[in-house]
């Protein structure tokens, strides 16, 4: 009989740097390849818009990629969305944790990378919603769409020209989906 050792959230936090990102799913390490330039640019563009909005209104905390959220314990699950938001009311009284957030984000954003598989992205969406995330946005650069997932509701598919919103979490926040997919081109 072969037994497989499970990794804990604490062990994940102190893994030696090897050039990869990892998530933890029910104690199993999942290695994540570095993302591409287009993914990084798009993620940065949306992160900047969200961070400016949230910080100007003191609504909570916006976190960048690689920020871990411990969604389950024994066995541990730690997921790291590309962008996340935790409302001010849910930030622990001790402040922003040194390690992983001990809760699910209120908003999680996943930007699809060229190597991502649909089932893997959907597994993340399901994990976030099951842990209490209110809204998950899946931004797909290939189709230039954003799918909006809310627990117990039908998925909303937004295309260029549609407005991306996060009511009631981020009142009056709006971003045109087409603005996310602006690409820089070299002038002749």
pLDDT digits (tens, 9 = 90+) for 14-23: 999 888 889 9
Task: Give the pLDDT of residue 115.
Answer: 85
Query: With contact defined as beta carbons under 8 Å apart, do 146 and 109 qualify?
Result: no
The partner residues of 111 in beta bridges, in order of sequence, read 139
Please tell me the CATH superfamily of domain 36-66+80-180, with its number: tt1808, chain A (3.90.1570.10)
- Decide if pLDDT at 186 tops 70: no
pLDDT digits (tens, 9 = 90+) for 87-133: 999 999 999 999 999 999 999 999 999 888 999 999 999 999 999 99
- Decide if pLDDT at 185 tops 70: no
pLDDT digits (tens, 9 = 90+) for 35-58: 888 889 999 999 999 999 999 999
Task: Give the pLDDT of residue 36.
Answer: 85
**pLDDT-based confidence at residue 142 (cuts at 50, 70, 90):** very high
**pLDDT-based confidence at residue 188 (cuts at 50, 70, 90):** low
Query: With contact defined as beta carbons under 8 Å apart, do 36 and 76 qualify?
Result: no
Alpha-carbon torsion angle 153, 85, 81, 161, nearest 10: 60
Pick from 3-7, 104-108, 184-188: least confident: 184-188
Is the full-model pTM beyond 0.75? yes
Domain ranges (residues) in the chain: 36-66+80-180
* Percent of residues, the chain, with pLDDT higher than 70: 95
At 8, is the secondary structure helix, strand, or coil? Answer: coil
Q: What is the mean pLDDT of residues 144-150?
A: 97
């Amino acid at each position: 009989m072969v037994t497989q050792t499970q990794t804990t959230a604490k062990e994940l936090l102190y893994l030696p740097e090897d050039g990869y990102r990892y998530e933890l799913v029910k104690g199993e390490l999942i290695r994540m390849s570095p993302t591409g330039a287009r993914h990084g640019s798009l993620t940065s563009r949306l992160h900047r818009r969200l961070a400016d909005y949230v910080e100007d209104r003191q609504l909570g905390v916006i976190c960048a990629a690689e920020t871990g959220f411990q969604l389950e314990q024994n066995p541990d699950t730690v997921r790291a969305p590309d962008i996340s938001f935790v409302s001010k009311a849910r930030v622990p009284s001790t402040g922003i944790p040194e390690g992983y957030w001990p809760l699910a984000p209120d908003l999680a954003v996943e930007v699809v990378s060229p190597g991502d598989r649909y089932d893997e992205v959907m597994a993340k969406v399901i994990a976030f919603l099951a842990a209490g995330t209110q809204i998950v946005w899946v931004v797909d650069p290939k189709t230039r769409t954003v799918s909006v997932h809310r627990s117990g509701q039908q998925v909303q598919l937004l295309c260029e020209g549609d407005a991306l919103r996060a009511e009631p979490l981020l009142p009056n926040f709006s971003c045109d989906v087409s603005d996310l997919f602006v690409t820089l081109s070299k002038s002749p």
